[in-house]
């Protein structure tokens, strides 16, 4: 079996792995630099929120909710602006650090007195009040708030746009400026005395670190504040966000931590995020590239450097491990405050794993076919797969020693027969003979080691162990003598005889040869003795000689037609070898060669 292609195979495996890895990394890069999987990537962030679970409730942010009860007790929505004025005064009097009023006043009311009361309460609050803009920008690009008939202006009072740039699906995940206007949240944080991170002033802004689903932020009904039912300590020193919470006001939006959340509570979560210094930040871009490269090359590299017989399993396990590692790393990083893009790495890992499995499987099929072809020359087809499995799928068989029986078989008189015939006829007859004998050997589980002109060497019990190797060898010899040889003689019109020698013992077998050409061989004393026994059949009435060791190895006992052939002195052996044969034996000696 040629084995010189071993180095070439390794090179091909490495080249294939490199191509698959480059393809995988390329796919990951495409996902990273485009928006092709943006929605799916954002959904992985939502999943990371879910896995992380609820966070501690902030003790410095409170949501004053315009809920159904407040609307019912105050006579419906919208509330008189005088009520908002009273609420602002109450909150400021109770020590609220900042009041963020998420109620838009874009049109004058029917009560000039209420408009005036609201303006005066706002002026009294000064830099403790943030008003929501009407999302209408003037030429100055400033949020527009109208109280009465004029744009409201008061020293210290901040105005901020309450809009968010929604992600696909309408989800609110980030807080930042939109079209250059100060944001309601960033203005609130500024008045609370906390520096606003520069990157939270830009579009798309920073991740909102939601502390949980809707209702997680401490909520106080609007009406309870007006009625004086809220203890001062619940408001003192806190940022108070006032806004709609009633379903009828339709200010609900999808968020990562649950189905929907009131807009004002989203503000409260965003304010808490900035007050805590933005706990969630995007990972540097090089993290994404490094992660996708590692994920993309993992499976191809594992499949390339692992022995061929385990490459498919190695590629699968390492590929799945890489994908799982990306997910685990992404979650741990998220829990620590870093949002890593996962889909570029998952894409690279998936392409790399599938590519490695596909390439390895194709290589394995091709290699298996080559190995099968190599083995089928001398191993029975019925056991080729077992041989490949036992030998780890390698065509190169390491040297082994196990009990077996060696057969040498030689056609008598063929040389003389061939002298008078053309070459094509000689090889036609020779191949007919070799086919008959080879089939008998292979059908009984023998391994053909080599063809020696008109002779054959075979071994039973190697490379696969066979407890009944001697019985198999004798059965093959009997079939050759009783059926194959007569049929061959009938086909050729000749009267050829045959010589068969069988000897059993510890057989050493394996591949021998050079890097350019390898052959399977069985060597040692057992082989030499079997060859000499075959030679001893010349000039005797016996076409088969089996040694005493082969007779002793027969598991079925002595056959009824086994006869003692006497002792033979063999070259290289100090003592004669007792031999046996089968009856009936021909009385005439072999014809000359």
**Residue 393's pLDDT band (boundaries 50, 70, 90)?**
very low
- What is the structure's pLDDT at 492? 86
Which is nearest to 582 in space by CA: 480, 505, 458, 504? 480
Other CB atoms within 10 A of residue 259 CB: 9
Provide, rounded to the nearest whole percent, the portion of the chain with pLDDT above 70: 84
Structure-token pair, residue 316: 């699968």
- What is the structure's pLDDT at 360? 82
Indicate if the pLDDT at residue 123 is higher than 70. yes
Q: Tell me if 264 sits within 8 A of 88, measured CB to CB.
A: no
* Mean pLDDT value across residues 401-415: 90
Which is nearest to 308 in space by CA: 12, 510, 21, 2? 12
Local structure of residue 482 (DSSP, 8 states): I
**Residue 501's pLDDT band (boundaries 50, 70, 90)?**
very high
Residues 260, 263, 269, 273, CA torsion sign: positive
- What is the structure's pLDDT at 383? 53
Which is nearest to 156 in space by CA: 133, 190, 180, 179? 190
Reduce the secondary structure of 155-206 to three states and give it as a string: CCCEEEECCCCCECCCECCEECCECCECEHHHHHHHHCCCCCCHHHCCCCCE
Rounded Cα gap, residues 409 and 95, in angstroms: 110
Residues in the chain: 593
Residue with tokens 């490094």: 290
* Mean pLDDT value across residues 568-575: 84
Indicate if the pLDDT at residue 534 is higher than 90. yes
Determine which helix (DSSP H) or strand (DSSP E) holds 208, and give its type and residue range: none
Going by CATH, does the domain composed of 400-582 fall within 3.90.1150.10? Answer: no
Which is nearest to 439 in space by CA: 520, 504, 381? 381
Buried b (16+ CB within 10 A) or exposed e, 563-591: eebeebebeeeeeebebbbbeeeeeeebe
Indicate if the pLDDT at residue 376 is higher than 70. no
The least confident of 107-111, 393-397, 490-494 is 393-397
**CATH 3.30.70.1230 location in the chain:** 400-582
Other CB atoms within 10 A of residue 285 CB: 11
* Mean pLDDT value across residues 87-114: 90
Hey, which of 97-101, 299-303, 503-507 has the most confident mean pLDDT? 97-101
Structure-token pair, residue 589: 């000696």
Looking at per-residue pLDDT, the higher value among 403 and 12 belongs to 403
The least confident of 81-95, 123-137, 505-519, 547-561 is 505-519
What are the residues whose beta carbons fall under 8 Å from the beta carbon of 280, sequence distance 6 or more? 206, 207, 208, 209, 273, 334, 337, 338, 339
CA distances from 179 to 104, 267, 401 (A): 19, 19, 83
Provide, rounded to the nearest whole percent, the portion of the chain with pLDDT above 90: 56
Rounded Cα gap, residues 391 and 268, in angstroms: 68
Residue with tokens 């190599």: 374
Q: Is 141 exposed, middle or buried (0-12, 13-18, 19+ CB in 10 A)?
A: exposed
Q: Tell me if 130 sits within 8 A of 191, measured CB to CB.
A: yes
Q: What is the pTM of this model?
A: 0.67
3-state secondary structure of 525: helix
- The rounded Cα 194 to chain-centroid distance in angstroms is 46
Rounded Cα gap, residues 352 and 304, in angstroms: 12
Which is nearest to 345 in space by CA: 371, 368, 324? 324
3-state secondary structure of 479: helix
* Mean pLDDT value across residues 500-506: 94
Looking at per-residue pLDDT, the higher value among 138 and 451 belongs to 451
- Give the torsion through C-alpha atoms of 4, 5, 8, 9, to 10 deg: -140
Which is nearest to 174 in space by CA: 150, 145, 210, 144? 210
- Give tens-digit pLDDT for 431-486: 999 999 999 998 998 988 888 888 999 999 887 788 999 999 999 999 999 999 99
Taking all residues of the chain, what is their mean pLDDT, rounded to a whole number?
Answer: 85
């Amino acid at each position: 079996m040629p084995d010189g292609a071993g180095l070439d195979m390794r090179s091909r495996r490495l080249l294939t792995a490199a191509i698959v890895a480059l393809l995988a990394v390329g796919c990951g890069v495409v996902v990273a630099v485009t928006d092709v999987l943006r929605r799916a990537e954002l959904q992985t962030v939502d999943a990371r929120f879910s896995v992380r679970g609820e966070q501690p409730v902030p003790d410095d942010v409170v949501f004053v909710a315009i809920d159904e009860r407040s609307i019912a007790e105050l006579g419906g929505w919208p509330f008189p602006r005088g009520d908002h004025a009273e609420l602002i005064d109450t909150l400021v009097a109770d020590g609220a650090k900042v009041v963020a009023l998420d109620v838009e006043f874009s049109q004058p009311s029917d009560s000039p007195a209420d408009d005036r009361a609201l303006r005066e309460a706002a002026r009294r609050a000064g830099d403790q009040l943030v008003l929501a803009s009407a999302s209408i920008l003037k030429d100055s690009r400033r949020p527009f708030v109208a109280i009465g008939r004029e744009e409201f202006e008061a020293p210290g009072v901040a105005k901020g746009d309450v809009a968010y740039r929604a992600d696909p699906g309408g989800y609110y995940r980030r807080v930042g400026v939109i079209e250059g206007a100060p944001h309601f949240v960033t203005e609130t944080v500024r008045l609370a005395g906390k520096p606003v991170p520069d990157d939270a002033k830009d579009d798309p802004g920073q991740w909102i670190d939601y502390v949980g689903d809707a209702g997680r932020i401490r909520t106080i009904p609007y009406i309870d504040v007006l009625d004086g039912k809220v203890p001062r300590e619940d408001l003192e020193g806190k940022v108070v966000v006032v806004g709609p919470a009633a379903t009828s006001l339709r200010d609900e939006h999808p968020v990562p931590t649950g189905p929907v959340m009131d807009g004002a509570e989203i503000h409260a979560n965003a304010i808490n995020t900035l007050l805590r210094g933005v706990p969630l930040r995007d990972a540097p871009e090089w993290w994404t590239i490094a992660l996708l490269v590692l994920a993309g090359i993992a499976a191809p590299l594992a499949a390339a450097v692992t022995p061929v017989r385990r490459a498919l399993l190695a590629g699968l396990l390492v590929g799945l491990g890489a994908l799982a590692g990306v997910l685990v790393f992404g979650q741990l990083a998220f829990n620590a405050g870093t949002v890593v893009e996962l889909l570029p790495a998952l894409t690279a890992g998936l392409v790399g794993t599938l590519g490695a499995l596909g390439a390895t499987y194709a290589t394995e099929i091709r290699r298996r076919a080559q190995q099968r072809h190599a083995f089928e020359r001398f191993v029975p087809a019925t056991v080729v797969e077992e041989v490949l499995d036992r030998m780890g799928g390698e065509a190169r068989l390491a040297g082994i020693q196990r009990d077996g029986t060696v057969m040498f078989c030689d056609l008598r008189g063929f040389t003389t027969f061939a002298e008078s015939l053309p070459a094509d006829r000689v090889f036609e007859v020779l191949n007919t003979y070799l086919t008959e004998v080879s089939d008998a050997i292979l059908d009984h589980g023998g391994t053909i080691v080599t063809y020696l002109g008109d002779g054959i060497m075979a071994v039973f019990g190697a490379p696969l162990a066979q407890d009944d190797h001697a019985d198999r060898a004798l059965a093959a010899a009997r079939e050759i003598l009783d059926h194959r040889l007569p049929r061959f003689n009938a086909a050729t019109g000749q009267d050829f005889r045959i010589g068969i020698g069988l000897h059993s013992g510890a057989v050493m077998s394996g591949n021998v040869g050079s890097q350019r050409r390898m052959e399977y061989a069985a060597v040692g004393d057992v082989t030499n003795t079997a060859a000499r026994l075959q030679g001893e059949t010349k000039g005797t009435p016996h076409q088969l000689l089996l040694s005493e060791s082969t007779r002793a190895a027969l598991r079925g006992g002595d056959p009824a037609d086994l006869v003692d052939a006497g002792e033979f002195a063999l070259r290289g052996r100090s003592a004669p070898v007792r031999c046996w044969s089968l009856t009936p034996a021909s009385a005439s000696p072999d014809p000359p060669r």
